[in-house]
Amino acid sequence: MRRFALLAGLAGVLAGCASQPTVTIPPSVSVSEFKTLSFSPQRIEFDARVLIQNSMPGDLEVQKVDWAVDLNDHELRKDSLTGVRNTNANGSQTLYFSFHVLMKDAVAQEPVKVTFRGAVFPAPRYGMGPLQFTKSLEITIPKPPDVVYTGLEGELFSEAFRLNLQLTNTNDFPVTLMTVTTFLVINDKNYTLLNTAGSFDMDAEEARLVALQMLNPPGKDLVKSLNLAKNPNPPFYIMGTVTFKTPNGLVYVPLSLAEALP
C-alpha cells in the first residue's frame, strides 16, 4: 500500500509538470533603418526598413502591414501592404519601404521632422493584437551650391577647349562633389561636356573651379555648319545636373546657365 501511494504521488507530480503551459516569446517588430536617400528641387526620397523577429516555434503569418508618414507630427500619407510572406519559426525578415516628401511641403515647415510609423497585423488565428513600430528623423535640407560661369579656354570645338565653372558649397558642413553631368547647347545643337576633375571634397563655404571639356570634340569644320561667320558671338546654354553627396544623402541640382561666346 505504501509503495502504491508513492507511485500515485509521483504520477501526480509528473502530471502537474506536464500540464504547465509552454512560455512563448511573442514576435517583435522594429524599424531597423530609416534614412534620407536624396534631395532634389522637387522631392526628398526616403528609405525605411522594418524588421520582423519571430521567436515562436511556428511560422508567423502576417495579414497586412499598415504604415504612415508624418511631417512635423501631421499625417502626410498612409498606405497598407499585403501579400507579406510568412516569417519562419525562430527567424526574421525585413520589409522595405520607399517614399518621398515633396520639397515644397518640407521647406514650408522647417525644421523638418519626418516620422515613419505603422503596425504589423498577425493573422487572427494567433489571437494577438497589432505589433507597432515607429521612428523619426529630424533633417536639415542641404542648400544648393552656387554655380558661376567663369569663362572659356582654348579654341571652340578643339580638344583643348574648356568651359570653366566655379562651384561654392553654401552649407555649414562639408560635401563631396560627385558628378557634373552637362551639355552645351549652341544653335539648337547639343554637345556633351565632361567634368575633368572627377569627384572631390569641399569644406563648408569652400569654392572650387571645375573645368568641363567636350566629349568627342567635332573639330573646327563645325564652325561652318553653325554659321558662326554670320554671328561670331551666338548665345549658348550650359544645361545638366550637379550631384553632391552630403551627410543626409545625395543632392541633385539642375544646372541652366545662358551665356555668349566671346
The reported pLDDT for the residue numbered 257 is 81
Cell triple for 89: 519559426
The reported pLDDT for the residue numbered 260 is 58
The reported pLDDT for the residue numbered 262 is 58
Amino acid found at 196:
T
The reported pLDDT for the residue numbered 233 is 64
The reported pLDDT for the residue numbered 14 is 45
Residue partners of 225: CB distance under 8 A and separation at least 6: none
The residue ranges of every structural domain in the chain are 28-139, 146-260
Using only the alpha carbons of the chain, give its radius of gyration: 31
Find, among 152, 208, 153, the residue nearest to 177 by Cα: 208
The reported pLDDT for the residue numbered 256 is 86
Cell triple for 224: 561652318
DSSP code string of 189-238 = EEEEEEESS--EEE-TT-EEEEEEEESS---TTHHHHHTTTT-SS-EEEE
Classify the C-alpha dihedral 179-185-190-192 as positive or negative. negative
Cell triple for 229: 561667320
Give the homologous superfamily in CATH for domain 146-260: Immunoglobulins (2.60.40.10)
Looking at domain 28-139, which of 1.10.10.10, 2.60.40.10, 3.40.50.10420, 3.40.50.300 is its CATH number? 2.60.40.10
Q: For the chain, which ranges sit under pLDDT 70?
A: 1-23, 196-197, 217-234, 259-262
Whether 28-139 shares its CATH topology with 146-260 is answered yes
Q: What is the pLDDT of residues 110-137, one digit of tens each?
A: 789 999 999 999 999 999 999 999 999 9
The reported pLDDT for the residue numbered 196 is 67
Enter the pTM of the model: 0.78
CA distance to 58, 160, 196, 228, 242, per residue, from 216 (Å) = 63, 12, 14, 20, 21
